[in-house]
């Protein structure tokens, strides 16, 4: 707090006046206002990665059309924007950090942090700051798997904190919080005690916690539905997608046909919900009976340690060992065996019911060209998918008819960032740092532009008006034309 007060005392009055006027305007506007710069959560408004009225400045790159660039601490959280302020989560000097920047010049407005008691286990490509903050124009809310939730006002003053248990998962947390009706929703899919959490945005009190029985680790960010008047929280996960009542968390409906874990977030258009999941787990053959494993139980304790395991048991040991006690017991084995048996890689196009509680119906289904991490993008009558290896697919959103499938972008490697739609273009970023721009709505894949940032890109880009924000492994770029 003292650092914040010192910063404000030393900042020019006229600059502060501008910020206050901006905030006043932002608070009196809506997220859909055309004059408000707003990318308030993961994948922007409604979590859909769509900016139909924005424009890309072409060409752009690490040295081209750069309005500003700033070194930033590690983190895979995407930019979160409201008015003239851009928020980032980061892991800075062992602190879970929330940073507020002036989005026009990249200057730091404030920086706050919480200190975790322990750092969660994470994937080799992950960080303790994978989740994107969310804002309602009054406060910004950050979620860290190693800590929980914390809320700050736009001046950087902490409003409340809601410490939560560290998720029980091998790869760490990456689901981002979302907001609806003054409530914060966090999908906590983990190997033990998976649940959906609802927290009061005003004071951080837990309003409800809906158990997700049978769910294991997952990394998808939920959405609220319908967008105009949210009533349900829709969350994909182990084998199925589920809708929870926003008011009290009771189950509205569920729909099966997914793999054992999901990373991609739900997408939608005017007619369908698009639920996507792909994982290597769906290709695991049926596991042998547990009694066969016990034949190699050298110490006779009725449980299997990793040195005693072989085949699928050894390969998937950290996954099957739900409670992470370094043993697989019968219940863990049989539960995972059943999950692997039912696992299906699929993109489901679901037709919503006439009410929030009515179960949707399946319009069409796809099983090829599916992404592992990137979310599907529904845009102007099409669904776009990017698969590891730089393979791009486009489908008719209404019928599922293939427009083109698994066409090469010319940018190899894995893809973690989700595609975003910007006016007449679709923008994609590979882990290796190659950004590809394709034309939207064309009958074949047309690459309009491609550039290499020579740094990793894991975070999904953000765009407001004509300013594009790309976070690499070490920097945050603002790209566009001067004066935009």
Q: Spell out where 295-358 has E strands.
A: 346-351
What is d(CA 420, CA 279) in angstroms, rounded to the nearest whole number? Answer: 22
Say how far residue 125 (Cα) sits from the centre of its chain: 15
**Which domain-ending residue is among 341, 357, 375?**
341
Q: What is the pLDDT of residues 170-186, one digit of tens each?
A: 788 889 999 999 999 99
Q: What are phi and psi of 44, to 5 degrees?
A: 75, -160
Are 280 and 266 in contact by the 8 Å Cβ rule? The answer is no
What is d(CA 338, CA 206) in angstroms, rounded to the nearest whole number? Answer: 33
Residues 6+ apart with CB under 8 A from 292: none
Residues 304 and 388 in one domain: no
Coil vs helix vs strand at 145? coil
Are 139 and 200 in contact by the 8 Å Cβ rule? The answer is no
Closest-CA residue to 174 (of 161, 187, 185, 183): 187
Residue 42 falls inside a structural domain: yes
pTM for this entry: 0.91
CATH of the domain at 221: 2.130.10.10
Residues 236 and 298 in one domain: no
Q: State the pLDDT at residue 469.
A: 98
What is d(CA 307, CA 296) in angstroms, rounded to the nearest whole number? Answer: 10
Residues 300 and 405 in one domain: no
What is d(CA 239, CA 307) in angstroms, rounded to the nearest whole number? Answer: 30
Residues 354 and 473 in one domain: yes
306: its two tokens = 């990793």
Q: What is the pLDDT of residues 218-255, one digit of tens each?
A: 999 999 999 889 999 999 999 999 999 999 999 999 99
Residue with tokens 């697989």: 328
458: its two tokens = 């894991």
Residue 484 falls inside a structural domain: no
Range of the domain at 321: 290-341
Residues 163 and 65 in one domain: yes
- Sequence-separated contacts (24+) of 251-257 with Cβ below 8 Å: 251/210, 252/356, 252/357, 253/353, 253/357, 253/358, 253/359, 253/360, 254/359, 255/348, 255/350, 255/359, 255/360, 255/362, 256/342, 257/344, 257/346, 257/348, 257/362, 257/365
Total count of domains within the chain: 2
Q: How far is CA 315 from CA 123, 168, 287, 331, in A?
A: 16, 19, 12, 18
What is d(CA 264, CA 416) in angstroms, rounded to the nearest whole number? Answer: 10
Percent of the chain scoring above 70 in pLDDT: 92
Q: How confident is the model at residue 145 (pLDDT cuts 50, 70, 90)?
A: very high
Residues 278 and 309 in one domain: no
Residues 241 and 336 in one domain: no
Residue 89 falls inside a structural domain: yes
Residues 315 and 456 in one domain: no
Bigger pLDDT: 104 vs 17: 104
Average pLDDT for 104-109: 97
Residues 297 and 259 in one domain: no
Residues 311 and 352 in one domain: no
Residue 81 falls inside a structural domain: yes
Residues 41 and 60 in one domain: yes
Q: How confident is the model at residue 34 (pLDDT cuts 50, 70, 90)?
A: low
Residues 297 and 425 in one domain: no
DSSP string for 85-132 = EEEEEEEETTEEEEEEEETTT--EEEEEEE--SSPPP--TT--S--SP
What is d(CA 466, CA 35) in angstroms, rounded to the nearest whole number? Answer: 12
Percent of the chain scoring above 90 in pLDDT: 77
End-to-end CA distance of the chain: 34
Residue 406 falls inside a structural domain: yes
**Predicted confidence (pLDDT) at residue 384 exceeds the cutoff of 90:** yes
| Average pLDDT of the chain to the nearest whole number | 90
Q: What is the pLDDT of residues 259-317, one digit of tens each?
A: 999 999 999 999 999 999 999 867 676 788 898 888 888 888 889 999 888 888 888 88
What length is written for the chain? Answer: 484
Residue 65 falls inside a structural domain: yes
């Amino acid at each position: 707090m003292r650092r914040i007060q010192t910063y404000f005392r030393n900042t020019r009055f006229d600059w502060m006046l501008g910020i206050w006027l901006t905030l006043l305007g932002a608070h009196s506007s809506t997220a859909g206002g055309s004059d408000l710069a707003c990318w308030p959560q993961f994948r922007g408004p409604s979590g859909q990665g769509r900016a139909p009225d924005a424009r890309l400045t072409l060409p752009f790159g690490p040295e081209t059309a750069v309005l500003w660039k700033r070194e930033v601490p590690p983190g895979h959280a995407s930019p979160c924007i409201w008015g003239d302020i851009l928020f980032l989560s980061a892991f800075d000097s062992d602190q879970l950090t929330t940073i507020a920047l002036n989005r026009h010049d990249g200057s730091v407005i404030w920086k706050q942090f919480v200190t975790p008691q322990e750092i969660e286990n994470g994937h080799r490509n992950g960080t303790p700051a994978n989740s994107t903050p969310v804002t309602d124009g009054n406060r910004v809310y950050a979620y860290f798997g190693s800590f929980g939730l914390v809320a700050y006002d736009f001046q950087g003053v902490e409003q409340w904190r809601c410490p939560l248990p560290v998720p029980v998962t091998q790869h760490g947390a990456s689901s981002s919080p979302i907001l609806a009706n003054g409530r914060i929703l966090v999908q906590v899919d983990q190997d033990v005690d998976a649940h959906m959490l609802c927290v009061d945005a005003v004071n951080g009190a837990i309003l409800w916690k809906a158990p997700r029985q049978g769910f294991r680790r997952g990394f998808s960010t939920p959405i609220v539905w319908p967008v105009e008047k949210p009533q349900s929280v829709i969350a994909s996960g182990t084998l199925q997608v589920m809708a929870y009542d926003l008011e009290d968390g009771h189950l509205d409906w569920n729909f099966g046909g997914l793999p054992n874990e999901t990373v991609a977030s739900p997408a939608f258009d005017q007619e369908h919900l698009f639920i996507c999941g792909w994982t290597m787990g769906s290709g695991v053959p049926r596991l042998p009976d547990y009694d066969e494993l016990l034949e190699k139980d050298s110490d006779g304790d009725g449980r299997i340690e990793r040195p005693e395991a072989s085949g699928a048991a050894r390969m998937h040991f950290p996954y099957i060992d739900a409670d992470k006690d370094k043993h697989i017991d019968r219940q863990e084995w049989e539960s995972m065996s059943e999950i692997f048996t039912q696992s299906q890689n699929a993109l489901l196009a679901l037709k919503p019911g006439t009410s929030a509680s009515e179960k949707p119906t399946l319009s069409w289904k796809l099983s090829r060209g599916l992404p592992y991490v990137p979310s599907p993008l529904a845009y102007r009558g099409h669904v776009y998918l990017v698969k590891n290896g730089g393979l791009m697919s486009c489908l008719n959103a209404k019928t599922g008819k293939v427009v083109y499938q698994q066409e090469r972008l010319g940018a190899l490697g894995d893809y973690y960032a989700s595609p975003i739609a910007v006016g007449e273009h679709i923008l994609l970023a590979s882990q290796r740092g190659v950004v590809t721009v394709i034309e939207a709505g064309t009958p074949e894949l047309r690459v309009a532009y491609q550039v290499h940032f020579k740094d990793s890109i894991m975070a999904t880009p953000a765009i407001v008006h004509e300013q594009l924000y790309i976070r690499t492994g070490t920097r945050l770029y603002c790209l566009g034309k001067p004066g935009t």
